[in-house]
């Protein structure tokens, strides 16, 4: 198959999958987000063709049922992973739409989840496993920017700098601790205890940008989040102009321009209405 044919297949499969999910879940994406999601898949294939082509088992369901939370609630841990078995080694990949810099900075959180999956795969199912890794598909801002300009040279150079594969070490001694932490989260959810991360976390830098800018600006809950409010307003008695900036901040100018143009280009414009009729 030529590269062009593969890209066409990827796009067709993506569109089919999207339509199925849209009909099943009743949620549609705006055109810019849909195009960004397709770009993630295409960039993943271009960056890691060996993994994308050689994965032996895709979307393997991993499950640890019949667990009990500290408050005796019953819960199961489930996950979906991809497995690549080669002659001399086996890899387990957890594909995420997360930001690679964020994953690297919070390795311990990802380690916990993947360690439990490894425990199920290797310890309970008795399967081979040598490496585990997260594939973080969120495209870095520089690559997104290059894609927006359509400058092939820049796209190539930014794709080369991007590293979506983050290997996670396996540590059996963290497994019990992690299952316990999952149980604590189950109790917090069931008890309706939801708290956002602290202001200090929002001020932490990830890949040169603060969490509050890089992550929160993409969060639909930000206008009802007290940590984000403190982060964006910067003071307990904000000025009117600070408040205006907070409400109107839809992200970096280039991003806003990109999604506005995408959505306008692909929106169905209603027929002109004859107001004199």
Binding footprint of ligand SF4 on the chain (CB under 6 A): 196-197, 202, 215-216, 219, 221-222, 225, 227-228
- In the complex, least distance from residue 194 CB atom to ligand SF4, rounded to whole angstroms: 9
- In the complex, least distance from residue 206 CB atom to ligand SF4, rounded to whole angstroms: 12
Q: What residues does 134 pair with on adjacent strands? A: 94, 166
Q: Which is nearer to ligand SF4, 219 or 264 (CB)?
A: 219
Kindly state the DSSP code that residue 122 receives in the 8-state scheme.
I
- In the complex, least distance from residue 254 CB atom to ligand SF4, rounded to whole angstroms: 21
Q: Which is nearer to ligand SF4, 102 or 117 (CB)?
A: 102
Written as one string, the DSSP assignment of 179-233 is HHHHHHHHHHHHTT---PPPHHHHHSEETTEEHHHHTGGG-TTGGG-HHHHHHHH
- In the complex, least distance from residue 202 CB atom to ligand SF4, rounded to whole angstroms: 6
Distance CA 250, CA 220 (A): 11
Q: What residues does 85 pair with on adjacent strands? A: 90
Q: Which is nearer to ligand SF4, 186 or 215 (CB)?
A: 215
- In the complex, least distance from residue 218 CB atom to ligand SF4, rounded to whole angstroms: 8
Residues 6+ apart with CB under 8 A from 251: 217, 218
Q: Which is nearer to ligand SF4, 1 or 193 (CB)?
A: 193
Distance CA 72, CA 66 (A): 11
Please give the helix or strand (H or E) that residue 82 lies within, else none.
strand 74-85
Q: Which is nearer to ligand SF4, 219 or 254 (CB)?
A: 219
- In the complex, least distance from residue 249 CB atom to ligand SF4, rounded to whole angstroms: 12
Alpha-carbon distances of 198 from 25, 31, 184, 226, 247, rounded to whole Å: 32, 33, 19, 9, 20
Distance CA 176, CA 79 (A): 17
Q: Which is nearer to ligand SF4, 23 or 194 (CB)?
A: 194
């Amino acid at each position: 198959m030529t590269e062009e044919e593969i890209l066409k297949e990827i796009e067709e499969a993506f569109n089919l999958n999207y339509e199925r999910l849209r009909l099943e879940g009743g949620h549609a994406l705006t055109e810019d987000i849909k195009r960004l999601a397709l770009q993630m898949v295409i960039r993943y294939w271009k960056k890691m063709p060996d993994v994308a082509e050689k994965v032996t088992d895709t979307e393997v369901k991993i499950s640890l049922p019949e667990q009990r939370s500290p408050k005796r609630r019953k819960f199961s841990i489930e996950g979906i992973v991809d497995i690549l078995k080669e002659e001399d080694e086996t890899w387990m990949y957890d594909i995420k739409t997360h930001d690679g810099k964020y994953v690297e900075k919070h390795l311990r959180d990802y380690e916990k989840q993947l360690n439990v999956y490894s425990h199920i795969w290797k310890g309970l199912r008795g399967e081979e496993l040598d490496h585990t890794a997260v594939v973080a598909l969120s495209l870095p801002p520089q690559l997104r920017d290059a894609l927006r300009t359509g400058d092939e040279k820049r796209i190539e150079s930014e794709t080369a700098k991007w590293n979506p594969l983050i290997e996670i070490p396996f540590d059996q001694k963290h497994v019990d601790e992690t299952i316990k932490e999952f149980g604590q989260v189950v109790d917090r959810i069931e008890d309706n205890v939801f708290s956002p991360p602290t202001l200090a976390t929002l001020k932490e830098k990830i890949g040169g940008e603060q969490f509050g800018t890089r992550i929160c600006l993409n969060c639909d809950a930000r206008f009802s989040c007290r940590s984000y409010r403190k982060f964006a307003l910067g003071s307990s008695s904000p000025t009117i102009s600070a408040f205006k900036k907070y409400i109107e901040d839809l992200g970096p100018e280039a991003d806003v321009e990109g999604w506005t143009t995408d959505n306008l280009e692909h929106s169905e414009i209603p027929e002109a209405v004859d107001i004199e009729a």
